[in-house]
Amino acid sequence: MKPKVFFSMPKKTFDISFSAEVVKAMSEVAELLGCPPPADGYNAEYVKNNIVDAEAVITGWGSLALTDEMLALAKKLKIVFHTAGSVQGLWKSTRTDIRVASNADINGQPVSEFALGMVLIGLKGVFHFNHEIHAKGKLAWKKTGDYAKGYYKTKVGILSLGHIGRRLVKLLKNFEVDILVQSNHITPEQARGMGVTKCTIEELMSQADVVVLCAPNKPKNKGMINKSNLKLMKDNSVFINIARGALVNEDDLVAELKTGRITAMLDVTFPEPPVEGHPFYTLPNCILTPHIAGSFAGECFRFGEAVVGEIKRYVAGEKLRNELSQEEIIFRA
């Protein structure tokens, strides 16, 4: 008998994540409930009515939180497949008998690719050249500048080695750069095995030509980037934030940017977007993008493809690729 699988998500999330081909492949191994979800009426009552019979639930961006009250109705529920990354905001239950698989590593792919692009652009001084040429025209048409370091033997620092940081390390191996990492979860010996150098945050910030912030959005990391380590950055170095804006003391970053010493490439801020009139909008050495590093547009179909693969493995009794341990569920929540 096919397991009953319930799509607990807004229709707009379903539409960007699940192609017709993926839905068809999923229907061959599971009985699908709420497929597609209603255009209107995705609410607690709707979820309660459908989760009762579900053996598995598929969640994503905008899904209602799974609380003890909600899961008290889900006596047949054995596993949750989360199409997005972190289960922060989703998992609000104390139950430990329900398995959870997350697409955090899948979502890390476009983020790490975006970070690589920013690293390469930063090391070539692309935004500086562009700004000067637009401002001065032909007079600025030159290939020199202290901010243009190139790639060979320059140092790229990565703060945190989660899904994104590890993917970025692999991508950077295609270039002749030295990779510095700050992580509490690897030893110096393990770092050497990865072909990187483990550093403290102070060592990394003072040595790297480009610093990429990939740390998780946890209370302990709030304001981890501040004046005490920003002042350590080399002249003409680049700071890239693809994590969360709250991890940076933005007043301190603004003060450092006003010196003209460094460049910041910010895909995230706190709040998003920055308030009207914020210095980020006018500082020439601050490059802003509207939180586009993660999956969007056609990239989101990777989520559905990953989930259908996990469901097939679940039905076949095989090991899942992206299952979280109970400790990870609690940590990521």
pLDDT in tens, 260-306: 999 999 999 999 999 999 999 999 999 999 999 998 888 999 999 99
Q: Cis peptide before 273, with omega less than 30 degrees from 0?
A: yes
| Mean pLDDT for the stretch of residues 65-74 | 95
pLDDT band at 143, cuts 50/70/90? Answer: confident
Q: What is the mean pLDDT of the chain?
A: 95
Annotated catalytic residue 278: no
For position 296, what pLDDT does the model report? 85
Is 332 a residue whose pLDDT tops 60?
no
For position 259, what pLDDT does the model report? 98
Domain ranges of the chain: 4-102+297-332, 107-288
For 184-204, write each residue's pLDDT tens digit. Answer: 999 999 999 999 999 999 999
- Name the percent of the chain in helix, strand, coil, to the closest 5: 40, 15, 45
CATH classification (class only), 107-288: alpha beta
For 28-55, write each residue's pLDDT tens digit. Answer: 999 999 999 999 999 999 999 999 999 9
Q: What percent of the chain is modeled with pLDDT above 70?
A: 99
Phi and psi of 197, rounded to 5°?
-115, 125
107-288 has the same fold as 4-102+297-332: yes
For position 331, what pLDDT does the model report? 56
User: In this structure, which long-range contacts are made by residues 266-271, counting pairs with CB atoms below 8 Å and at least 24 apart in sequence?
Assistant: 266/240, 266/241, 267/114, 267/118, 267/240, 267/241, 267/242, 267/291, 267/292, 267/293, 268/241, 268/242, 268/243, 268/244, 268/293, 269/245, 270/244, 270/245, 270/246, 271/245
Of 56-70, 77-91, 168-182, 263-277, minimum mean pLDDT range: 77-91
Which carries the bigger pLDDT value, residue 327 or residue 188? 188
Question: In this structure, are residues 307 and 103 in contact, taking their beta carbons and an 8 Å threshold?
Answer: yes
| Mean pLDDT for the stretch of residues 62-66 | 96
Measured CA to CA, the distance from residue 287 to residue 126 in angstroms comes to 11
CATH classification (class only), 4-102+297-332: alpha beta
Catalytic residue among 82, 131, 134, 291: 291
pLDDT band at 333, cuts 50/70/90? Answer: very low
Of 81-85, 166-170, 189-193, 279-283, minimum mean pLDDT range: 81-85
For 215-233, write each residue's pLDDT tens digit. Answer: 999 899 999 999 999 999 9
For position 142, what pLDDT does the model report? 87
pLDDT band at 84, cuts 50/70/90? Answer: confident
- Hunting for tokens 């289960």 — which residue is that? 87
| Mean pLDDT for the stretch of residues 153-159 | 97
| Mean pLDDT for the stretch of residues 158-174 | 96
